[in-house]
Structure 1
Amino acid sequence: MIQLKKATVADLPTIQKIAKVTWGPTYTDIIGEEQVEYMLGKMYNIDALQAQIAQGHKFLIAEQGTKKVGFASYSRDEGDAFHLHKLYVLPEVHGQGVGKLLMNEVVSKVRAEGGKYLRLNVNRYNKAKDFYESAGFKIKESVDNEIGNGFLMNDYIMEKTIG
């Protein structure tokens, strides 16, 4: 059985570990190992995660028994729009509904906070794009963002209307 809970600062090392385990298989073939390591170091160091919380990012953790198997984070973007920043699930539990459960909980929380739209960025070559489309997201635009060290993020911005 999967349980969801609000993450605390004490969960940040676990979030870091899940990111490290999931990013390799997800992104190495798309952006290369050097960019994966750069982005993990930039976005998932403890100080960066604490700064994200300070900026209003809310983190959820998925637990299967006593094992933490996934996480998501979101925040208010502007007005009645929110942004899903992260949604990662350990490869060993893919296909067990953990990602869908996290997504549904984020949508529920966004709706409860008055959100009308949920946006996200996804790499244009990431298979997760299909997951997001099946969850009701539609591609709004294509963007290329410089992230430092000569690296680019080649993303789609996707959006879901929350009814």
Structure 2
Amino acid sequence: MAMIVQARAADAGAIASLAEEIWREHYTLLLGEDQVTYMLDTIQSEDVIRQAIESGTVYWLVKEDGELIGYVAYDLRESELFLSKYYLKHSFRGRGIGRYLFDELKQVAIENRLPAIELTVNRENTRSIEAYRALGFHVLREHVGDIGGGYVMDDYVMQYVIS
């Protein structure tokens, strides 16, 4: 059974290593090698993750039998829980772990009296979009944002309304 451990700043290196593995496997075909490398260097690096944790972003390490198999990151905002990272190793997907994590995130939102969970997902990332829809998310709007290096994120903002 998967378990959640709240990450500390000292865990940033392990999270960055896991991000490298997951992102290269999942996003290279979708975004291309150059953009994946750029994003790993700018938003998934050890320093960036450490700074995020130190600034209040909550990171969860997801472990099974002592192995780090995924990670989650979120921020509590005024009107929603913003889910910025929600990643599992490929071999652990489809086993109910993502739903377990989502149920835990819903509890955090409820405990903080937040009416919704929001996230962004690349519009071409159909597998993830389908998984989010299966959890009850709907597309709220489209968002295109410049992330530097000549790259843009062409995303959907998806929302789950806490009922």
Which TM-score band applies after superposition, normalised by the shorter structure?
Answer: over 0.9
What amino acid is the match of 1:105? Answer: E
Unpaired runs of 5+ residues, structure 1, are none
Alignment check: 8 A CA contact 2:9 2:54 kept: no
Question: 1:10: how far off?
Answer: 2.4
Runs of 4+ residues deviating >6 angstroms: none
Who is 1:104 aligned against? 103
Who is 1:137 aligned against? 137
Who is 1:9 aligned against? 9
Who is 1:155 aligned against? 155
Question: 1:113: how far off?
Answer: 1.3
Who is 2:50 aligned against? 50
Q: SS at 1:155's partner residue?
A: strand
Question: 1:59: how far off?
Answer: 0.8
CA distance in 2, matches of 1:152, 1:143: 10
Question: 1:142: how far off?
Answer: 0.9
- Could you state the TM-score of these two structures normalised by the residue count of structure 2? 0.94
Kindly provide the CA deviation profile for residues 39-81 of structure 1, in whole angstroms up to 9, marking residues without a partner as x: 000012222112212332101111111101011011023x231
What amino acid is the match of 1:32? Answer: G
Q: SS at 2:16's partner residue?
A: helix
Alignment check: 8 A CA contact 1:70 1:89 kept: yes
Who is 1:26 aligned against? 26
What amino acid is the match of 1:161? Answer: V
Q: SS at 2:87's partner residue?
A: strand
| Distance change (3 Å), C-alpha of 1:5 and 1:72 | same
- Could you state the TM-score of these two structures normalised by the residue count of structure 1? 0.94
CA distance in 2, matches of 1:148, 1:83: 22
What amino acid is the match of 1:60? Answer: W
Is the aligned partner of 1:119 residue 2:112? no
Unpaired runs of 5+ residues, structure 2, are none
**Alpha-carbon RMSD:** 1.2
